[in-house]
Amino acid sequence: MKTDKELKDLVKQKYSEIALQDQNENKASCCGSGGCSTEVYNIMSDSYESIEGYNPEADLGLGCGLPTAFALIKEGDTVLDLGSGAGNDCFVARAQTGEKGKVIGVDFTPIMIEKARENAEKRGFNNVEFRLGDIEKLPLTSNVVDVVVSNCVLNLVPNKKAVFQEILRVLKPDGHFSISDVVLVGDLPAELAQQAEMYAGCVSGAIQKETYLNLIAESGFTDIKIQKEKAILLPDDILKNYLNKEALDSFKNSKTGIFSITVFARKPNCCKPGNGCC
């Protein structure tokens, strides 16, 4: 079993490599992790092509949902994107919050930050900034963000509880998040769960759906709801890298499922009478 630091180093190394890959190569793999499939073009991510603010140069094909489409971002909002990569969701959020708003992207991979800043500079976006930092300890002061978004990132983080506590800290009272992530229903085969590459590829780093939702509630959020859910079907030519035929057949016939969910939750406003949260 790898330590939290070893897992973080693994993810940082893998995503540094991904930043230099071709977009099509990323999209044909599991969150860009490698193990390219000949059966599908795009395993997890949804298409951004019809969404205002979308910039193909900033889309590395690493997502598993469209959190900005569900995030209820208003003009003038301050939006935070966790694990902002090359800036794709930040630029979509900017189209919604407008020039009066502000968008902050946080990523702990230096080459991703560099790539995102280059993309923002090309477009002359002076209200979008990218900060190098760990989302388990965000480089922001408390109560400053209206909306938090994230796309297929928290599943890579060893201490997910710390991330939700940090989200709660930086959100303003009544602020909310919309986060897309990979979760499980049932236990993955040990051969998958123990593979470092599959961890960096978003699958074996995922936790149980019920556990994920409970972490959100335990962190103090309210109004928790799943905005979108879809099954993730890993093709055989990826699974065969990790499972023999018997294990593959058993996995496919089991009730274990891998899902992408987009979850909404709100930070309570303790200043409102009757909330009982203070």
Domain with residue 52: its CATH number is 3.40.50.150
Residue-wise pLDDT tens digits, 226-236: 999 998 887 78
Q: What's at 241, amino acid-wise?
A: N
What's the rounded Cα separation, in Å, for the pair 212 and 104? 25
Total domains in the fold of the chain: 1
Q: Is 81 within a domain?
A: yes
Q: Is 277 within a domain?
A: no
Give the domain extent around 118.
Answer: 4-266
What pLDDT is recorded for position 32? 44
Q: Is 240 within a domain?
A: yes
Residue-wise pLDDT tens digits, 187-243: 877 777 666 445 445 565 788 999 999 999 999 999 999 999 998 887 788 788 888
Q: Is 90 within a domain?
A: yes
Q: Is 272 within a domain?
A: no
What pLDDT is recorded for position 53? 87
Residue-wise pLDDT tens digits, 37-50: 433 334 566 778 77
What pLDDT is recorded for position 191? 77
Note if the pTM is more than 0.95.
no
Within 13 Å, how many C-alpha atoms sit on residue 59's CB side?
A: 19
What pLDDT is recorded for position 242? 82
Q: Is 49 within a domain?
A: yes
Q: Is 276 within a domain?
A: no
Q: Are 262 and 227 in contact (CB under 8 A)?
A: yes
Least confident of 6-10, 85-89, 119-123, 153-157: 6-10
Least confident of 45-59, 89-103, 151-165, 241-255: 45-59
Q: Is 196 within a domain?
A: yes
